[in-house]
């Protein structure tokens, strides 16, 4: 089996499990923010933190073992486009709130029969593609991406927290990475499990753990199994990824690439990738759950205003997700698992944008 085939097959399996578990456990980061703000219920927020902690520990232990090299991921590039991350994250947070959920949630809803989710994903894909290669890309590159912090000028090879700590303290990189993983990982676990109510719901903890392990498995799949010699060029490359390096789950740009592949199916230069297959897999995993539980239902928009909000939200998510280099899963799980400060900026923007939009919608 070729490395590309292994990556694509593995992506389908991992994504189907991700979609099924997220569907059954109601895992939703926008829902977590909404629950915490509106009802004081932080259970789903703790699910998010637990999934991020598990993914972080798993990914960085594999990095220490030499199985993967997280410093090669897009999240740890030494140049930090801080304005793109912050503004993109904020617009994504606004968009996901208007659209009633992030791309992952809409993929899950589509598997359950939601035609609203289909409309959201199509508009998101078009907007994301325009931000990658079209009109929006010109705006992004001209007005946002030029505002950066170049950490390489400070002697850093990447923006990983361990590299920053090692530079600041003189610790060897391995010790700095172990310190970061231990402090952040233990801190998140204490924050999650100090709540008695959450401890009384083992199903939520188990679901979050599985989702975190799936994110770590995505890194292993693309960064180890898919890292092999290209028989045509004899170079060591990363097979079947859109970024040409190791990846884990993210759903904005892959949704755009999925639409591109469907529209240009006969173009032999286009191929399925980890991200494209992941988009399909999450939807299929949700579909399996919906059929098994007999909850599959076709649903549309409640009103014209509902349609307007969803389309506007989809466009903002497409632009914001590409500009911020990821979504609630791409930055909120995969990026955080790579211990990238840029991901913290993007996630802060997502949370602030979502909370601000919730306040606005309450007053509207």
| Residues 85-116: tens digit of each pLDDT | 999 999 999 999 999 999 999 999 999 999 99
Is 21 within 8 Å of 47 (Cβ atoms)?
A: no
Question: How many CB atoms are closer than 10 A to CB 6?
Answer: 16
State both tokens at 78. 């030494």
- Judged against a pLDDT cut of 70, whether residue 253 lies above it is answered with yes
Residues of the chain with pLDDT > 70: what percent?
A: 100
- What is the per-residue burial (b if ≥16 Cβ within 10 Å, else e) of 157-172? ebbbbbbbbbbeeeee
Residues of the chain with pLDDT > 90: what percent?
A: 90
- Judged against a pLDDT cut of 80, whether residue 265 lies above it is answered with yes
State how far the alpha carbon of 258 is from the alpha carbons of 9, 87, 323, 327, in Å.
16, 25, 18, 16
Sketch the domain layout of the chain as residue ranges.
3-363
- Judged against a pLDDT cut of 90, whether residue 233 lies above it is answered with no
- 291 phi and psi, to 5 degrees? -70, -40
User: What is the tens place of the pLDDT at every residue in 115-151?
Assistant: 999 999 999 999 999 999 999 999 999 999 999 999 9
**Nearest 5 degrees, angle CA 22-CA 27-CA 29?**
135
pTM for this model (two decimals): 0.95
Cα separation, 286 vs 192, whole angstroms: 26
State both tokens at 174. 């391995």
State both tokens at 72. 């090669």
State both tokens at 188. 């998140």
pLDDT value for 364:
67
pLDDT value for 310:
96
Cα separation, 24 vs 352, whole angstroms: 27
Computed on alpha carbons and rounded to an integer, the radius of gyration of the chain in Å comes to 20
- Give the model's confidence band at 229: pLDDT under 50 very low, under 70 low, under 90 confident, else very high: confident
Residue with tokens 């793109």: 84
């Amino acid at each position: 089996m070729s490395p590309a085939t292994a990556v694509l097959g593995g992506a389908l399996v991992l994504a189907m499990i991700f979609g099924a578990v997220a569907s059954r456990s109601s895992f939703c980061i926008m829902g977590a923010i909404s629950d915490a703000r509106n009802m004081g219920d932080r259970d789903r927020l703790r699910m998010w933190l637990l999934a991020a902690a598990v993914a972080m520990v798993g990914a960085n232990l594999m990095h220490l073992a030499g199985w993967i090299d997280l410093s090669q991921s897009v999240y740890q590039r030494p140049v930090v486009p801080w304005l793109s991350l912050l503004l993109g994250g904020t617009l994504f947070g606004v968009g996901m709130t208007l659209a009633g959920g992030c791309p992952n949630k809409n993929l899950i809803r589509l598997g359950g029969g939601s035609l609203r989710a289909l409309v959201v994903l199509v508009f998101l894909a078009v907007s994301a593609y325009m931000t990658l290669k079209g009109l929006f890309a010109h705006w992004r590159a001209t007005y946002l991406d030029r505002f950066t912090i170049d950490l390489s000028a400070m002697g850093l090879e990447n923006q990983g927290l361990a590299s920053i700590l090692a530079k600041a303290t003189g610790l060897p990189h391995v010790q700095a990475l172990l310190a970061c993983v231990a402090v952040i990982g233990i801190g998140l676990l204490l924050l999650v499990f100090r709540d008695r109510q959450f401890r009384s719901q083992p199903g939520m903890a188990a679901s979050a753990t599985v989702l975190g392990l799936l994110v770590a498995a995505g890194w292993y799949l693309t960064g180890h199994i898919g890292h092999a010699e290209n028989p045509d060029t004899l170079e060591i490359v990363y097979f079947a990824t859109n970024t040409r390096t190791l990846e884990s789950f993210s759903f904005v740009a892959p949704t755009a690439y999925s639409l591109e592949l469907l529209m240009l199916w006969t173009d032999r230069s286009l191929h399925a990738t980890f991200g494209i297959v992941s988009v399909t897999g999450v939807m299929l995993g949700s579909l399996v759950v919906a059929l098994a539980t007999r909850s599959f239902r076709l649903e549309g928009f409640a009103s014209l205003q509902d349609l307007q909000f969803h389309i506007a939200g989809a466009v903002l998510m497409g632009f914001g997700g590409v500009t911020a280099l990821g979504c609630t899963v791409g930055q909120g799980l995969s990026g955080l698992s790579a211990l990238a400060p840029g991901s913290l900026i993007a996630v802060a923007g997502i949370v602030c944008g979502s909370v601000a939009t919730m306040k606005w919608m309450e007053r509207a």
